[in-house]
Structure 1
Amino acid sequence: MPTRRYGRTTVTLPDPGDDPYLGVINSPPRPGSTVTEFRYTDQNLGALDLTETDLRNGILHNVNAQRTTIENVRFSSVRVTDSDLGSLQLTGSKASRTLFRDCRLMGAAITGAVLDSVLFENCRLDYAAFDRIRASGPVVFDRCVLTEATFTACDLTGVVMHDCTLRATGFGAGTYKGLDLSSSDLSTVRGVGNLREAVISRAQQHQLTDSLLAELDVTYSEDLPPHH
Structure 2
Amino acid sequence: MPDLGEPGLYLTKVSTLANARDTVQDFTFGDADLRTLELAGTQLTTGRIHSVHAQRVEFETMNLHGIEITGSDLGAARWSESKLTRVTIRDTKLLGATFDSLVLDNVLFENCRLDYATFTNVRATGSVVFVGCILTEAAFADCDLSNVVFSDCTLRLTEFGPGRYRGADLRGNDLTSLRGLPHLAKVRIDVGQQHDLAQALVSELNIAVGDD
TM-score range, shorter chain: over 0.9
Once residues 46 and 74 of structure 2 are traced to their aligned partners in structure 1, the CA distance between those partners, rounded to angstroms, is 20
Determine if contact 1:90/1:109 at 8 Å carries over to the other structure: yes
Determine if contact 2:87/2:107 at 8 Å carries over to the other structure: yes
Which residue among 137, 140, 146 is the counterpart of 2:126? 137
Once residues 98 and 57 of structure 1 are traced to their aligned partners in structure 2, the CA distance between those partners, rounded to angstroms, is 9
Q: Which residue of 2 aligns with 1:183?
A: 172
Q: Which residue of 2 aligns with 1:218?
A: 207
**Are residues 1:15 and 2:3 paired?**
yes
User: What letter is aligned with 1:16?
Assistant: L
Larger radius of gyration: 1
Please state whether the residue corresponding to 2:144 is helix, strand or coil.
coil
Call closer, same or farther: CA 1:221–1:20 in 2, change over 3 Å: closer
**Ranges in structure 1 where 5+ consecutive residues have no aligned partner:** 1-12, 224-228
Once residues 5 and 140 of structure 2 are traced to their aligned partners in structure 1, the CA distance between those partners, rounded to angstroms, is 32
Once residues 177 and 183 of structure 1 are traced to their aligned partners in structure 2, the CA distance between those partners, rounded to angstroms, is 17
> What is the percent sequence identity of the aligned residues?
44
Q: Give how far 1:98 is off.
A: 0.3
User: What letter is aligned with 1:105?
Assistant: L
Q: How many residues align?
A: 211
Deviates more, 1:28-37 or 1:186-195: 28-37
Trace 1:75-86 onto structure 2 (pairs within 5 A).
75-86=64-75
Once residues 179 and 167 of structure 2 are traced to their aligned partners in structure 1, the CA distance between those partners, rounded to angstroms, is 18
Q: Which residue of 2 aligns with 1:10?
A: none
**Are residues 1:127 and 2:137 paired?**
no
**Are residues 1:35 and 2:30 paired?**
no
Q: Give how far 1:17 is off.
A: 2.9
Q: Which residue of 1 aligns with 2:183?
A: 194
Q: Give how far 1:218 is off.
A: 1.3
Determine if contact 2:29/2:50 at 8 Å carries over to the other structure: yes
**Are residues 1:107 and 2:101 paired?**
no
User: What letter is aligned with 1:15?
Assistant: D
Q: Which residue of 1 aligns with 2:195?
A: 206
Q: Which residue of 2 aligns with 1:117?
A: 106
Q: Give how far 1:20 is off.
A: 7.6
Determine if contact 2:115/2:137 at 8 Å carries over to the other structure: yes
Once residues 31 and 121 of structure 1 are traced to their aligned partners in structure 2, the CA distance between those partners, rounded to angstroms, is 32
TM-score by length of 2: 0.96
Q: Give how far 1:197 is off.
A: 0.8
Q: Over aligned residue pairs, what C-alpha RMSD do you find?
A: 1.4
Once residues 38 and 152 of structure 1 are traced to their aligned partners in structure 2, the CA distance between those partners, rounded to angstroms, is 34
Q: Which residue of 2 aligns with 1:70?
A: 59
**Are residues 1:165 and 2:124 paired?**
no
